Chain A
Amino acid sequence: MSELENPNENIYSLTKDEEEILKPKKDFFIKGVLIFGGLFFLFSLYELNIDYANLLEGTGAFFAMLIDMFPPNISEWAYVLPAAIESLQVAILGTVIAVVISLVLAFLAAENLAPSLWVSRIVKGFATLMRVIPTIIWALIFIVAVGLGPLPGVLAIAVHSLGMLIKVFAQSVEEMDEGKIEALKASGAGWIQIIAQAVIPTVLTALMSWTILRLEIDIGESTILGLVGAGGIGWELMRAMRSYDFNSALFITMVIFIMIFSVEMLSNRLKLKV
């Protein structure tokens, strides 16, 4: 009972060392980040040189336009709804293509399965390149190459998603328990047998939830691909805005909102199930 020997001493008080453990330098670091962020914010604001008179004027115009937008003009639904479905189809097809190809490439990219470290690095490098270039820039590139229409949209979504899916699939494969692979290797299983018997059953749920997430993102992205001419509902919106047909634009925006919102709801429910 050594603590009770000196009853005046508060046994709960911390020594200096202990206090430092409880309050690490994190606080200091976070403060530094916040201060630097604030300074950089002021600098950026200065460099952007925003025209505040225009900002004020534009805000007035924006709200006037919002009021002008009502009521939504639904008379063109016969064009808008097929375009929305086309966007959905572009997203589904692009995602499916990406998933199928990434299933092969991810096993080459995962370091614990790749035939050699170099193969893994090269595949990952390509994946980074595909992932970092935004979908819409891919769409622009494919439009120049294969012409307007849904095809460049499908390709753009497939390529961009492929980059992300290779990365995350490879990560989930790398995180799996090495023992299973070792056991199969010891019993003389080949590369394909290892993947079919050990890897796929283990990572299946992770793959499925990533796929659902990716489909959700792709449906959002496919709605905007039309802005550059890659088919779908974005094109209808672009057309309506260009001709100052704000009531149709509101209707199209509402359709886009409903599409993305219902997909979010649906995928939240699916995620719970998976």
Chain B
Amino acid sequence: MLNKWKRVIALEGTKDIRRHKRLQTMLIILLVIGLTVWSAIGTDFSVYEVFSGVGLISNFLFLDLLPPDVTTSGSLLGAILETLYMGFVGMVVGALIALILSFLAAGTTTPHPIIQVVVRAFTSIIRNIPGLIWALILVASYGIGVTVGTLSLILGSVGFLTRVFADTLEEIDTGKIEALNATGSSYLQVLAQGVFPQFIPGFVAWSLYNLELNIRASTIIGMVGGGGIGFAIQKGIKLFQYKEVSMAIILVLVLILSTEFLTSKIRERII
């Protein structure tokens, strides 16, 4: 008799849990729908406008934008290479700075917890302000040109890489570090012998990923005056040279896809 009651209570319990779960799902769905409707009202979004825009968009795409003007590819080539160089320099300088900062920011290697908190807060500020906004602020003091583009990419790389490097450092096997500490090694010796060898593959892989991000970012940073292909695209749109713009977009496509391909090949071999 008692057992039977227990089973009934248990059954009721699972029913309750199920009902609870279903209620939770319903609430989440309602919340999402509510947020969507709120956003649609706030942005004056109307399906009608989108569908009436489809004609305009396809007109623009197929008449103004296409076919790309291949004759401009010579002058655009310089701009796209500039974009590549900015992305690469930003990655290397950013990775070197992030390397130092991440040792200060990782719990396993930091010399002092206060330094860790300060470095983490500093890089969090850098990371959570988009690169384009950094570029906009930097343009005011450096003027238009590749300096601004490179600097804002360096900032972006430092913000991103310090975080992932520090996370990588915190995941490494601490047994080696303890062993080295026990044998009386100095801080630098511990870093060189215990930490670094385990850290290198992650360092290279994350830097390569950052290169991908940088190349994406550097194509657009030109729009606020950072040089490179973004500047060419912005200029082309302002001068209504849409066929030149589509050629530039094709070059961006080629650059991004080939970097993705190359970095994924290198990553595969490393990890």
Q: What is the 8 Å Cβ interface bit string for chain B, positions 187-229, against chain A (1 contact, 0 not)?
A: 0000000000000110010000000000010011001100000
| Contact in complex: A62, B142 (CB < 8 Å) | yes
Q: What is the 8 Å Cβ interface bit string for chain A, positions 30-55, against chain B (1 contact, 0 not)?
A: 10011001101100110111110011
Q: Is B266 an interface residue (CB 8 A)?
A: yes
| Contact in complex: B43, A151 (CB < 8 Å) | yes
User: Using a Cβ–Cβ cut-off of 8 Å, how many residues does chain A contribute to the interface with B?
Assistant: 71
A261 CB contacts on chain B under 8 angstroms: 124, 128
| Contact in complex: B140, A142 (CB < 8 Å) | no
A228 CB contacts on chain B under 8 angstroms: 223
B44 to chain A: closest residue by CB = A150
Q: A89 vs B124: C-alpha distance in the bound complex, in angstroms?
A: 24
A61-77 interface with B by 8 A CB criterion: 61-62, 64-65
B147 CB contacts on chain A under 8 angstroms: 50-51, 54-55, 58
Q: Is A119 an interface residue (CB 8 A)?
A: no
Binding site of A, secondary structure by majority: helix, strand, loop or mixed? helix
| One of B15-23, B82-90, B102-110 at the interface | B82-90
Q: A212 vs B12: C-alpha distance in the bound complex, in angstroms?
A: 34
B130 CB contacts on chain A under 8 angstroms: 220-221, 223-224, 256, 260
| Contact in complex: B270, A30 (CB < 8 Å) | yes
A65 CB contacts on chain B under 8 angstroms: 137, 140-141
| Contact in complex: B129, A93 (CB < 8 Å) | no
Q: A33-B204, A48-B146 are in contact. Are A154 and B219 (CB under 8 A)?
A: no
Q: Is B10 an interface residue (CB 8 A)?
A: no
Q: Is A103 an interface residue (CB 8 A)?
A: no
A251-267 interface with B by 8 A CB criterion: 253, 256-257, 260-261, 264
A101 CB contacts on chain B under 8 angstroms: none
User: B49 is contacted by which of A34, A137, A141, A151 (Cβ under 8 Å)?
Assistant: A151
| Contact in complex: B133, A237 (CB < 8 Å) | yes
| One of B33-41, B67-75, B174-182 at the interface | B33-41
| One of A11-19, A126-134, A182-190 at the interface | A126-134
The CB with the most chain A CB atoms within 10 A, among B81, B89, B139, is that of: B89
| Contact in complex: A48, B42 (CB < 8 Å) | no
A90 CB contacts on chain B under 8 angstroms: 39, 43
Q: What is the 8 Å Cβ interface bit string for chain A, positions 125-163, against chain B (1 contact, 0 not)?
A: 000110011101100111011100111011100000000
B59 to chain A, nearest CB (A): 8
Q: Is A79 an interface residue (CB 8 A)?
A: no
Q: Is A122 an interface residue (CB 8 A)?
A: no
B142 CB contacts on chain A under 8 angstroms: 54-55, 58, 61-62
| Contact in complex: B65, A96 (CB < 8 Å) | no
User: B204 is contacted by which of A34, A45, A88, A133 (Cβ under 8 Å)?
Assistant: A34
Q: Is B77 an interface residue (CB 8 A)?
A: no
B81 to chain A: closest residue by CB = A47
Q: Is B138 an interface residue (CB 8 A)?
A: yes
A49 CB contacts on chain B under 8 angstroms: 146
Q: A53 vs B141: C-alpha distance in the bound complex, in angstroms?
A: 13
| Contact in complex: B219, A134 (CB < 8 Å) | yes
Q: What is the 8 Å Cβ interface bit string for chain A, positions 151-185, against chain B (1 contact, 0 not)?
A: 10111000000000000000000000000000000
| Contact in complex: A96, B256 (CB < 8 Å) | no
B133 to chain A, nearest CB (A): 6
**8 A-B Cβ contacts within 8 A?**
A47-B82, A58-B138, A141-B60, A145-B60, A223-B130, A223-B133, A224-B132, A260-B130
B: residues with CB less than 8 A from A are: 32, 35-36, 38-40, 42-45, 49-50, 53, 56-57, 59-61, 64-65, 81-82, 84-86, 88-89, 92, 124-125, 128-130, 132-133, 136-143, 145-147, 150, 200-201, 204, 216, 219-220, 223-224, 233-234, 237, 242, 249, 252-253, 256-257, 266, 269-270
